[in-house]
Amino acid sequence: MQAVVLVGGEGTRLRPLTLETPKPMIPVMNMPFLERTLRRLKEAGIEDVILPAGYLPEAITSHFGDGSSLGLRVRYVIEETPLGTAGALKNVADFITGPFFVLNGDVLTSLDLRAMLAAHREKGGLGTLHLIRVDDPSAFGCVVHDPDGRISAFVEKPERDKAPTNEVNAGTYLLEREVLDAIPAGRPVSIERETFPQLIAAGRPLYGYTTDDYWIDLGKPEAYLGAHRNVFDGVMPLGLTPDIDGPGRESVPTTAIRPPVFIGNGCAVDSSAVIGPYTVLGDGCSVGAGAVVADSLLWDRVTVDAGARVDAAIVASRARIGAGARIAHGSVIGHDAVIEPGTHVEENARIVAVD
């Protein structure tokens, strides 16, 4: 079994985090999300992985190489211009030898891929789409199907009171190779908006596979933060226990810890600082006397100087929060940004480093 993980998007909604780090490589509990996805594929017995990339591809290729360190065969196809979610599949057609999984590179889910494969084989359709139920489908692609699961319609982002169903496309597909014949070559094509609706219009059998799994699209800062909270609370199993506190936990004074936290390697934290709850420190972070970091995600080598306060924020690698500065809820601080001492950064701010 093969898998294609779509990793070519620009991740505009996650800027400035994605100005230097492509969205699939943003850390989830201090590990690049794509590494967690590839480990999940390996656990499901899927060892042949194709990555259609395009945006900052070196960050991906240099981390995974040929995939052998994860026990996988990983191959890359770099798009010169983005080909869209179906165009990217057409572009890797030469590598595909049979039925294959397609995973959006930004979906965190507890979906059991083996169970989905079994469902696909049982139905015998051209494709099986993972669906989940949501309270408000207006931001998603609704998928209408009969009681047997056979899909009859796709409705993109309907008004809430006009939505035909609350079952939505969850971004994991299992497709027969034949689907690639339906995708035109050489231009951007969206699988959600173009290919799937066309297959349905042509009477081809696509099936929905609806589960109650944990599912979140990490594409926005609040979702990315919220996903961590869900992992800390055990709502999303990530296989971290008993290592939930992280490899660097022992090096941080107990007085500073407000569980739950995840501490990376090589952090230096003053005993009068407060770390947590719901906080991740990446590798090599430093937090000074009396500083508070709560409900926040710090990437690698972030410095929080004495008396600073970081609340429900995301701080990318190597940024520095000056002494006594305040970072308010929902803010995102980009790579290498420096927040001057005493500055108050307002809620939901987006701060980019000045060259």
Q: Which residues of the chain form contacts with ligand GTP (CB under 6 A)?
A: 6-13, 23, 52, 54, 79, 82-85, 88, 104-106, 219
Comparison of 140 and 262: residue with beta carbon closer to ligand GTP: 140
Nearest approach in angstroms of CB 191 to ligand GTP is 9
Comparison of 105 and 246: residue with beta carbon closer to ligand GTP: 105
CA distances from 69 to 62, 205, 234 (A): 12, 38, 28
Nearest approach in angstroms of CB 34 to ligand GTP is 9
φ, ψ of residue 72 in degrees (nearest 5): -120, 165
The number of beta carbons lying within 10 Å of the beta carbon of residue 134 is 16
Nearest approach in angstroms of CB 81 to ligand GTP is 8
- The DSSP secondary-structure symbol of 276 reads -
Comparison of 141 and 246: residue with beta carbon closer to ligand GTP: 141
What is the C-alpha separation between 198 and 55, in angstroms, rounded? 28
φ, ψ of residue 2 in degrees (nearest 5): -110, 160
Nearest approach in angstroms of CB 178 to ligand GTP is 21
Residue showing the smallest CB distance to ligand GTP in the complex: 9
Cβ neighbors of 201 (< 8 A, separation 6 or more) are none
For tokens 């995973």, the residue is 103
What is the C-alpha separation between 125 and 200, in angstroms, rounded? 12
Comparison of 218 and 327: residue with beta carbon closer to ligand GTP: 218
Rg (the chain; Cα; Å): 21
Burial of 354 (0-12, 13-18, 19+ CB in 10 A): exposed
Comparison of 14 and 126: residue with beta carbon closer to ligand GTP: 14
CB 103, CB 3: distance < 8 Å: yes
Nearest approach in angstroms of CB 13 to ligand GTP is 3
Nearest approach in angstroms of CB 182 to ligand GTP is 18
Nearest approach in angstroms of CB 156 to ligand GTP is 12
β-pair type (27-28, 31-32) = antiparallel
Comparison of 37 and 128: residue with beta carbon closer to ligand GTP: 37
Comparison of 167 and 192: residue with beta carbon closer to ligand GTP: 192
What is the C-alpha separation between 105 and 345, in angstroms, rounded? 31
